[in-house]
Structure 1
Amino acid sequence: MNKNSKIYVAGHNGMVGRSIWQILKANGYSNLLGCPSNELDLRNQKAVKEYIEWNRPDVIIDAAARVGGMMANNDYPYQFIMENMQIQNNLIDAAFKSGVGKFIFLGSSCIYPRLAPQPLKEDYLLTGALEPTNEPYAIAKITGVKACQAIRNQFGKDYVSLMPTNLYGTHDNFDLDTSHVLPAMIRKFHDAKVNNDSFVTLWGTGSPMREFLFVDDLATAVVFALENELPYYLYNVGTGEDLTIKCLAETIQKIVGFNGKIIWDNSKPDGTPRKLMDISRMHTLGWKHQVKLEAGIQITYKWFLENSDNFKQVKIN
């Protein structure tokens, strides 16, 4: 990949997009395109088509999405399926029709069946029922994967999909109504510490097992996909290591320094029992993650403290 290639990072102001942008810059890529959402609504097909036709990028990296945790997925299923399909379909179709040669689509491990064998292999896609609590988002992302695969197979273009495990890191969303589990725990334990609360209540039983990837590691995987023509259409991106939600909570509690109790509200859903990614495809090609979980949480909490007055909070309309 030429360092002067024009690369459009959709969603460049989000947690994932920011990290990709920074890693690209650090690797010598200087011709980067980004457009904030108040100037380009990616849900608007006409606007996206005109932007891509006018700028003619060589590569598009789709890091834009409507994302959120279990509560947000449960409360706003229509927005999660419709807006994600609008965003990705507009970008993929505009890229294809404008002759963009390389497209990197980012999805999520939730595309795999709820009770698929562990660890999750790429071949398990569409072999069983999805987890109900995030089904709308998963269905949207599956359509994106299949659209890129269709263009790849039918027209021979280098369109590839990367499916990261649960992500966290700097610039994350810490809104308790819409955030994912790890940043939500950071926020809950921090608030409880500041307020001198005696306990923190968390959803579920704490027994589900989850895998977590620091956002900068995903960014290095994107650069790896950018600089190599990968032989398959779909790749898992993760650490290959998981832990229980209970263990995660205790780790975050220790890092934040909250000394109270944890109460598990088992009237709330646990979600998928386990989600561990098989990352052998990426490992075989040469990519591996670098940031250990505890170190990544420490970095994230430090950023949270330094930005507690203006950190990202996402509201869904």
Structure 2
Amino acid sequence: MEKNAKIYIAGHRGMVGSAIYRKLQKEGYNNLIVKTSAELDLRDQLAVTDFFNRELPEYVFLAAAKVGGIIANNTYRADFLYENLCIQNNVIHEAYKTGVKKLMFLGSSCIYPKLAPQPLKEEYLLTGPLEETNEPYAIAKIAGIKMADAYRAQYNCDFISVMPTNLYGYNDNYHPQNSHVLPALIRKFHEAKVSCSNEVNIWGSGTPMREFLFADDLAEACYFLMQNYSEAGLINIGTGEDLTIKDLALLIKKVVGFEGALTFDSSKPDGTPRKLMDVSKLHELGWKHKVELEEGIKLAYADFLAKHS
């Protein structure tokens, strides 16, 4: 990507989009186009058409999506399916119509079958049933991957799809019900520490295994792949390392400085038993994560304290 190229970052105020925005600024890109959801509703086909015709971006990072944790995904099933399909349909189609040089579509590791072999290889897509609680979101993301591939096959568009593992970092969502597990635990432990609670109760059994990538590392990978990768299908972005939710909780407890006990509520859903990315394809291209989990949690907690306490 040329330094003066016009680059549109969809979803620049979210955790992923803001990390990509910071990375591009750091690399000296000064022609970045961003719009808040109030300025441009990506679900509105006419508004997106007008925007692309007016701005004519050369490169697009499609990081805008309706996102949330297990409860949000399961509660707002129609919203997650409809709104994500609208966003990606509009942006991908207009990118084709206006001759965008390259587009990156960001998906999620929940696209893989619930009981797929571990670690998750790219070719496991569509080989089995999805996790029920976030099936609508996953189906929307799978449609986005297939859409990027279809425009590549039919119109020779350089559209690529990347699948990040679980993310955390600056500008994360700490909502009590709608957040993902790592930020939710940061909030829980912080509030327990402040209120001098004796214990923190954690949803689920604590046994599922999860992998976590710092969002600024994801931005580094996205920047690297925009320059060095162009093929159909998808590529995983992750660390290739995972741990149990219990061990994650113990790590967050240590970083936050909470002194009490942990209890686990097995009546709450666990989700997929394990979700570890096979990142050998990414490693072979020459990219590897830099921020280890404890260091990243310290950075995220400092960000949480600055914005929420």
Equivalent residue, structure 1, for 2:168 = 168
Please tell me whether residue 118 in structure 1 is matched to residue 118 in structure 2.
yes
Equivalent residue, structure 2, for 1:267 = 267
Instruction: Output the amino acid matched with 1:224.
Output: F
Equivalent residue, structure 1, for 2:92 = 92
Equivalent residue, structure 2, for 1:235 = 235
Please give the root-mean-square deviation of Cα atoms over the aligned residues, in Å.
0.9
Instruction: Output the amino acid matched with 2:253.
Output: Q
Equivalent residue, structure 1, for 2:33 = 33
Distance in 2 (CA, whole Å) between partners of 1:61 and 1:13 is 13
How far residue 228 of structure 1 moved from its aligned partner, in angstroms, is: 2.2
State the Cα deviation string for residues 141-197 of structure 1 (Å, max 9, x = none): 000000001111222221000000000001100011110000000000000110111
Instruction: Output the amino acid matched with 1:36.
Output: T
Instruction: Output the amino acid matched with 2:4.
Output: N
Equivalent residue, structure 2, for 1:286 = 286
Instruction: Output the amino acid matched with 1:158.
Output: D
Instruction: Output the amino acid matched with 1:175.
Output: H
Distance in 2 (CA, whole Å) between partners of 1:304 and 1:265 is 25
How far residue 308 of structure 1 moved from its aligned partner, in angstroms, is: 1.4
State the Cα deviation string for residues 227-254 of structure 1 (Å, max 9, x = none): 2243443100000000000000010011
Equivalent residue, structure 2, for 1:315 = none
Equivalent residue, structure 2, for 1:62 = 62
Instruction: Output the amino acid matched with 1:15.
Output: M
Instruction: Output the amino acid matched with 2:247.
Output: C
Distance in 1 (CA, whole Å) between partners of 2:124 and 2:274 is 14
Distance in 1 (CA, whole Å) between partners of 2:242 and 2:288 is 16
Equivalent residue, structure 2, for 1:134 = 134
Equivalent residue, structure 2, for 1:312 = none
State the Cα deviation string for residues 114-157 of structure 1 (Å, max 9, x = none): 00000000100000000011111100000000000111122222
Secondary structure (helix, strand or coil) at the match of 1:9 reads strand
Equivalent residue, structure 2, for 1:184 = 184
Contact 1:152 1:233 in 2 (8 A): no
Contact 1:62 1:104 in 2 (8 A): yes
Equivalent residue, structure 2, for 1:152 = 152
Please tell me whether residue 255 in structure 1 is matched to residue 255 in structure 2.
yes
Identity %: 59
Please tell me whether residue 225 in structure 1 is matched to residue 225 in structure 2.
yes
Contact 1:73 1:133 in 2 (8 A): yes
Equivalent residue, structure 2, for 1:313 = none
Aligned length: 309
Contact 2:152 2:232 in 1 (8 A): no
Distance in 2 (CA, whole Å) between partners of 1:156 and 1:95 is 12
Equivalent residue, structure 1, for 2:302 = 302
Secondary structure (helix, strand or coil) at the match of 1:307 reads helix
Equivalent residue, structure 1, for 2:216 = 216
How far residue 203 of structure 1 moved from its aligned partner, in angstroms, is: 0.8
Instruction: Output the amino acid matched with 2:173.
Output: N
Contact 1:169 1:300 in 2 (8 A): yes
Structure 2 alignment gaps of length 5 or more: none
Equivalent residue, structure 2, for 1:2 = 2
State the Cα deviation string for residues 41-81 of structure 1 (Å, max 9, x = none): 11101101110111000011101001101111111111111
How far residue 221 of structure 1 moved from its aligned partner, in angstroms, is: 1.0
Shift >2 Å, 4+ stretches: 228-233
